[in-house]
Structure 1
Amino acid sequence: MNQAQVDFQQLRIKHILFKSKVRSVLYGGTYDADFFSSQGPINAWFNAVGLSKYRSEPNMLELRQVQQQLSTAAESLFALYNRGKIEEAHAGLSIIEALSEKFLSLLTSLEGKLAA
């Protein structure tokens, strides 16, 4: 496994944790403000690894954009949940899933290009 594969595997794990934490909050779990902050692990990865090592890769900026869309969508769902619109928040998980599929597709594509 080369360094790019290791880097992208780390991001993939952080992404899965992100989705899990979003779902957890929307089903009554504790909101982790540090995790979802601009200093959280996914943003830290983009700042320390993604945008420093792989900025020249065309899909890297798109991957970052999709992550920002995921974060914005999650915050919107948290707001719905906090206003008592629990069913709407749960229904909104489909948005997270669709963005996640796009994120993972871009990630796999980048990983494939850089694994050679």
Structure 2
Amino acid sequence: MLKSQDSLQSLDIKQARVKFILFKSKLRSILYGSSTDDSLFSARENSLGQWLYSSALTKYGHLPEIREIEKINLSITGKAKDLVNLYNGGKIDEARAGLTHLDGSERELIRLLEEIESKV
């Protein structure tokens, strides 16, 4: 039973990585002409925020890493707003180039998720 529980927790952590990739994919789509998905601009409603606020804070809220992930989520939400504003303001190349700024957030997110996974 313990192994099954470990597998579920590992799957839950992996789900957060997928949620971040989905976030980046939605942002990239907007910056390449797709319609805007307003949930992207809400720290609670974007894909990572849904994972964070629907289950992760309850399960892992006692770990300091989850609070750092919450800060990353707030940061990337703000960055997404900034990039879409640039795009809507006609600064398309600048907005698209700004996607690379999410790479550092992604690396930090993965590091934090690995820390959480090692503790649970």
- Of residues 19, 22, 37, the one that matches 1:32 is 37
User: Where in structure 1 are there 5+ consecutive unaligned residues?
Assistant: none
- Of residues 81, 89, 98, the one that matches 1:92 is 98
User: Where in structure 2 are there 5+ consecutive unaligned residues?
Assistant: 1-5
Distance 2:33 2:117 in 1: 35
- The 5 A counterparts of 1:18-97 are 18-37=23-42, 38-97=44-103
- Of residues 107, 110, 113, the one that matches 1:107 is 113
- Of residues 11, 14, 23, the one that matches 1:6 is 11
Name the one with the larger helix percent: 2
% identical aligned pairs: 36
Aligned residue identity for 1:34: S
The ranges of structure 1 where at least 4 consecutive aligned residues each deviate by more than 4 angstroms after the TM superposition are none
Query: TM-score, normalised to structure 1's length?
Result: 0.87
Q: Deviations over 1:54-103 (max 9, x none)?
A: 00011110011111111111111011000001111012112111211111
Distance 1:60 1:28 in 2: 33
Q: How many residue pairs align between the two structures?
A: 114
Q: Does 71-80 or 41-50 show the bigger shift?
A: 41-50
Give me the CA root mean square deviation: 1.6
Contact 1:74 1:96 in 2 (8 A): no
- CA spacing shift, 1:85–1:35, aligned 2, 3 Å: closer
Matching residue of 2:20 = 15
- Cα distance, 1:35 vs. partner? 4.5
